[in-house]
Amino acid sequence: MNDDLPTPKVPRHLFDVRTDLTTEEALTNASEMLGSAIALAHESAFDLNEAQCTKVLGIINLVEIAHLLVNQALDHVSPIHSE
């Protein structure tokens, strides 16, 4: 066995964010993911009973607010995004 070979780094997380990711790229991806979460939640909310649907609609409201905040931050980082 060759002791000169580097020991592979074992990841501590299942997923990692690229270290060279720009703020604009991060915000754009976060915005897209939040938009997808909103669409999926809306699509499935009405397949639930009334109490569960109410809870999901509350969660959708929180995600929509987060989506608005991310988009506002993205507009500050990249004004071209908002045109």
Give the tens place of pLDDT for each residue, 8-27: 777 677 888 888 999 999 99
Task: Using the predicted structure, report yes or no on whether residue 1 has a pLDDT greater than 70.
Answer: no
3-class SS string, the chain = CCCCCCCCCCCCCCCCCCCCCCHHHHHHHHHHHHHHHHHHHHHHHCCCCHHHHHHHHHHHHHHHHHHHHHHHHHHHHCHHHHC
3: pLDDT confidence band, cut at 50, 70 and 90? Answer: low
pLDDT of residue 12: 75
pTM of the model: 0.74
38-67 pLDDT per residue, tens: 999 999 998 999 999 999 999 999 999 999
Domain assignment of residue 44, given as a range = 23-82
Whether 14 is covered by a domain: the verdict is no
Whether 49 is covered by a domain: the verdict is yes
In whole angstroms, what is the distance from residue 63 CA to residue 81 CA?
21
Q: How many domains does the chain have?
A: 1
Burial class (CB in 10 A: 0-12, 13-18, 19+), 75: middle
Task: Using the predicted structure, report yes or no on whether residue 2 has a pLDDT greater than 70.
Answer: no
